[in-house]
Chains A and B, each alone.
Chain A
Amino acid sequence: MLKVDGIRKSFSGNDVLRGVSFSIKQGEIYGLIGKNGAGKTTLLNIMAGLMDKDAGTLKKDGVIGYLPDLPNFFEYLKTDEYLDFLLMDKDKKRRDELLDMVGLKSGLKVKTMSRGMRQRLGIAAALVNNPDIILFDEPTSALDPLGRKDVKDILLNLKDKGKTIVLSTHILADMDKICDRAGFLHNGIIAKEVDVRESADDKSYIIVGFKEKIADDFLRIFETYEKINENMVKIFIDGMSKDRSQKKIFKILSETEYEVSSISTKEHTLDDIFEEVCVK
């Protein structure tokens, strides 16, 4: 559906992208994660055709729509007029569909709209030509929690309609909830690519504290564990069968003669992977 292969870009001798490669299937939401200045916006601009690349290829099946970071509109227009302008006054029905889709009223003055509403108008604008692939640059970064939820709902709705979405953000909690896969852009390349749902479960664990010293013989009952100290152990959850694995661990703990003093679970999130890949 969308294949990025060896994209390179430099500005005044500074290599921002040094051969970025990844591919996305139809109907997938792909998260592009990276530190500020990692080149996410540059990559999206190249994918949207707004910037030339120095090298590499980009194969796409279908039309691309793009919503830049903090989209700017002609402030003196109203919501319906802005979409009419983008549609070149050709399709009033499509305009109303788009306004419905993003939950905006016709006739609202752009200059009086909140950031969340502007972002929704931006999404409508990016969808004007009914693109198959939509690129979103930090769509939730400037929004309050309610605005972020609205935007996430719209993105999931688009995914249900079979749209392919590439999304860049540094708010990784958003990625956890909506992305299928994520690529970590670091040092100008995709340094790691993960299946978001699997990665979240892969290294999740439970920390159990006991009132007394625990014997290693007892701990061997767990498939993977890591002893923190004599009274505390980190028990890893099997990502492939998360619920079953958790149930099994709790059953063992409830049946054991060791008295449990504390239990806490820790999900392995994209933040952890981000730290592993982009910070350490």
Chain B
Amino acid sequence: MNRIKCCIKKDFKEYFRTGKIFASIVLCSAIFFLILVSTLVFSNIPDILNQELKGLDIKNLEELMINLYPKKVLESIGIFAYYIGFFYSMIMIVVVHSILPNERKNGRWILPNEQGYKKMDFVISKCFVYGIMSFASVFIFYMLYFFAANIFMEKNMYFSDAFILAFVHGINLFMIIVYTLLMSVWYKSGLFAAISMIGTVLLVPDIMTYFDFGKYFPTYMLTFVYESQLEYSDLIIPFLINIILIVICYFISKWKLDKTTGV
């Protein structure tokens, strides 16, 4: 346990000293302002056009803008969650997919390995630190968006719902990072992990909405938050499947690392 604790301490230093915390905050802030400003500015465009160009049929345009940038908290926060799920997870996957393979390839595990550290210690610790930091970023910015949206938009969401959905989305990002890191050690390069995870996160949630069984698919947790759904019992099966898949990925990673001699 002490080994994991020391690895976690080291990885937190990595996260803070190599600018990843800064990048994470900048990225979340950018998405936060992009969605908030777009919602506030672009949704007024039909009214402005109506004033400027009398007689213009703005009905279709209004519908389009309402769909793109709804001015109600519950709907708008779903859009924010979608962009976070899309851009933040994609960038984080790109960032983390090569960390463990590079550490291993560059021989950074050799000296610690001689002192008793196990290869999986590095993997577990990275999953924990990067997962927790992603969870925290997403959770905090989701709640910030909720508070900001409550000031500028029509209130139709309880704090408790926002808190739970923020938590679920944080868990989503935590699991995306964990999957990526675990799969990144399956092969010498982490490219397989990056491609698989980007494909899964970006495409599967949309594809699964066309199928009835999509509700039980692990990516439904993302869809749930994107659509700001409130039937929390729907999360149980996809969450359990995710846990089972993570356990399977963990053992595959352990097996893959154990069967290679050296570090």
Number of chain A residues close to chain B: CB under 8 A: 29
CB neighbours (8 Å) of B107 from chain A are: 68, 70-72
Please report the C-alpha to C-alpha distance between residue A72 and residue B262 in the assembled complex, in whole angstroms: 15
B110-A74 in contact (CB<8A): no
Looking at the complex, which one of A51, A74, A77 makes contact with B262 (CB distance below 8 Å)? A51
A-B contact count (CB 8 A): 64
CB neighbours (8 Å) of A87 from chain B are: 115
A76-B18 in contact (CB<8A): yes
Please report the C-alpha to C-alpha distance between residue A128 and residue B115 in the assembled complex, in whole angstroms: 8
Looking at the complex, which one of B13, B106, B116, B263 makes contact with A88 (CB distance below 8 Å)? B116
Q: In this complex, what residue of A is CB-closest to B15?
A: A76
Looking at the complex, which one of B6, B18, B110, B114 makes contact with A129 (CB distance below 8 Å)? B114
SS of B interface (majority): helix
Chain B nearest CB, measured from A179 CB (Å): 23
Please report the C-alpha to C-alpha distance between residue A89 and residue B116 in the assembled complex, in whole angstroms: 13
Q: In this complex, what residue of B is CB-closest to A45?
A: B262
CB of A66 within 8 Å of the partner chain: yes
Please report the C-alpha to C-alpha distance between residue A259 and residue B3 in the assembled complex, in whole angstroms: 75
Looking at the complex, which one of B5, B17, B111, B112 makes contact with A76 (CB distance below 8 Å)? B17
Please report the C-alpha to C-alpha distance between residue A48 and residue B263 in the assembled complex, in whole angstroms: 12
CB of A116 within 8 Å of the partner chain: no
CB of B51 within 8 Å of the partner chain: no
A72-B114 in contact (CB<8A): no
B114-A88 in contact (CB<8A): no
A77-B10 in contact (CB<8A): yes
Chain A nearest CB, measured from B35 CB (Å): 33
CB of A50 within 8 Å of the partner chain: yes
CB of A65 within 8 Å of the partner chain: yes
B interface, size bucket = 20 to 34
CB neighbours (8 Å) of A201 from chain B are: none
CB of B113 within 8 Å of the partner chain: yes
Q: In this complex, what residue of B is CB-closest to A69?
A: B107
Chain A nearest CB, measured from B151 CB (Å): 39
CB neighbours (8 Å) of B110 from chain A are: 50, 66, 68, 71-72
Q: In this complex, what residue of A is CB-closest to B105?
A: A72
SS of A interface (majority): loop
Q: In this complex, what residue of A is CB-closest to B19?
A: A76
CB of A252 within 8 Å of the partner chain: no
Looking at the complex, which one of B3, B13, B18, B261 makes contact with A81 (CB distance below 8 Å)? B13
Chain B nearest CB, measured from A69 CB (Å): 9
CB of B256 within 8 Å of the partner chain: no
Chain B nearest CB, measured from A72 CB (Å): 5
Chain A nearest CB, measured from B38 CB (Å): 37
Please report the C-alpha to C-alpha distance between residue A253 and residue B85 in the assembled complex, in whole angstroms: 90
Interface residues of B (CB under 8 A from A): 2-3, 5-6, 9-10, 13-14, 17-18, 106-108, 110-116, 261-263
Beyond A71-B110, A76-B18, 10 additional pairs, beta carbon < 8 A? A50-B261, A67-B111, A68-B110, A71-B111, A74-B14, A76-B17, A77-B13, A86-B115, A88-B116, A125-B111
Interface residues of A (CB under 8 A from B): 45, 48, 50-52, 65-68, 70-74, 76-77, 81, 84-90, 122, 125-126, 128-129
* Interchain Cβ contacts under 8 Å between A and B, 9 examples: A48-B114, A50-B113, A72-B110, A76-B18, A85-B10, A86-B115, A88-B3, A88-B116, A129-B115
